[in-house]
Structure 1
Amino acid sequence: MTAADGVRRGAGVRWVQRVSSTPLFAKIAPKALPAVDRAIHRLTRGRVLPSAWLLPGVVLTVPGARTGSPRSVPLACMPEESGSWILIGSNFGRTDHPAWTVNLLHHPQAVVNWCGEDIAVRARLLEGEEREDVWARVLAFWPPYATYQARVSRTIRVFRLTRC
């Protein structure tokens, strides 16, 4: 069991899930959380990702859709037993798709930093029945994603990242 599993199962998880489902959190978190994660991840040379204390997380590096310049963003993920990762483009329930999802659609070859290790991956947007099956597991994994989806008219993008 990881530290993230322990927190998700702990008594405080319901409080964290409630807070993370609020509109105020959706307004503040997209700026504050990635900035803190990036700074600490950089300072610890990839050994610490603070948001991963709540949910497992990776730092995704993918070329920008327009510029081709590398863009790195810390993201919560749902690791799969097969060694792949599920990324959810919820954008905390904000109206637009997050930029990293657009980048992955244009450049599916990317790198994730997982537990301090850089791993080359290929991203695939999940659709149809496959997406629905994974979405059900995502909601069991972190129920606030249902609140995020209810808040927006777009379908939240879900990607599977597999090692190259």
Structure 2
Amino acid sequence: MSAQFPDREWGSRTNLLSRIVSPLAATKLGSLVVRTVIQPVDRLVLKRTAGAYTALGPIGAPVVLLETTGRKSGQQRTSPLLYVHDGDVLYVIGSNFGQQTHPAWTANLLADPKGAVTLAGQRIPVTAERVTDPALAAQVFARFEGLTAAYSAYKQRTDRDLRIFALRRAD
């Protein structure tokens, strides 16, 4: 077993703001706002604070900054993602807000499973493994649905399988 990941959740998923944002994010308009406005701001906040703070922190959203290597460009790519924390594993899901295409970071991990996460002020090298076991995938997805109802909406909007990855420390 490798070392556990730090946990850096703050805020509350039960406060008024969270109760408003979660259902809004499940709508197509809300997803568009999150994807085009909040996500770029969150990427900046996470980078500037080395993953110690996130724009979604006040609503208790656990966000990690994932770095992958572009499969075509070879350039470093950075994506802020919600995650499910499971001790020595972080799970991330390629929902892409329910769009019909997989997010690029998932294809990057399939091509090169090495990456890094920035979380709680730490940059941690990771190795990704796609979750292919249907029972485990269902369990992990249920935990994402527990974070926000938006994941149920994302899954209903698309016919593709949402790629789930287990991230483990590489160091």
How far is 1:35 from its partner?
Answer: 1.3
Aligned length: 162
Cα distance in 2 for residues equivalent to 1:83 and 1:9: 26
Tell which has more relative contact order, 1 or 2 (C-alpha 8 A, sep 6+). Answer: 2
TM-score scaled to structure 1, two decimals? 0.88
What is the CA-CA distance between 1:95 and the residue it aligns to? 1.6
Q: Which moved more, 1:137-146 or 1:71-80?
A: 137-146
SS at match of 1:8: coil
- The corresponding residue for 2:88 is 83
**Residue identity (%):** 31
Deviation at 1:93, TM superposition (A): 1.4
Distance 1:52 1:157 in 2: 24
C-alpha displacement at 1:2, in angstroms?
Answer: 6.2
Q: Secondary structure at the match of 1:62?
A: strand
State the partner residue of 1:36.
41
Instruction: Note the alpha carbon deviations across 1:4-48, whole angstroms, 9 max, x for none.
Output: 4x4212244332111011111222321212210122233334432
Q: What's the CA shift string for 1:45-68, capped at 9, x where partnerless?
A: 443221233311111111001111
In structure 1, the partner of 2:65 is 59
What is the Cα deviation at residue 129 of structure 1?
2.1
SS at match of 2:64: strand
What is the CA distance between 1:77 and its match in structure 2?
1.0
**1:51/1:76 contact within 8 Å kept:** no
State the superposition RMSD in angstroms: 1.9
Question: Contact between 1:61 and 1:73, CA under 8 Å: does it hold in 2?
Answer: yes
Question: Which structure 1 residue ranges, 5 or more long, are not aligned?
Answer: none
State the alpha-carbon separation in 2 of the partners of residues 23 and 113 from structure 1.
29
TM-score by length of 2: 0.85
What CA deviation, in whole Å up to 9, does each residue of 1:72-125 have, x standing for no partner?
111111111x23111011111122111111111111111000111000111111
SS of 1:65's equivalent in the other structure is coil
Amino acid at match of 1:33: I
Correspondence list, 1:10-49, <5 A: 10-49=15-54
- Answer yes or no: is the 8 Å Cα contact 2:109–2:128 preserved in 1: yes
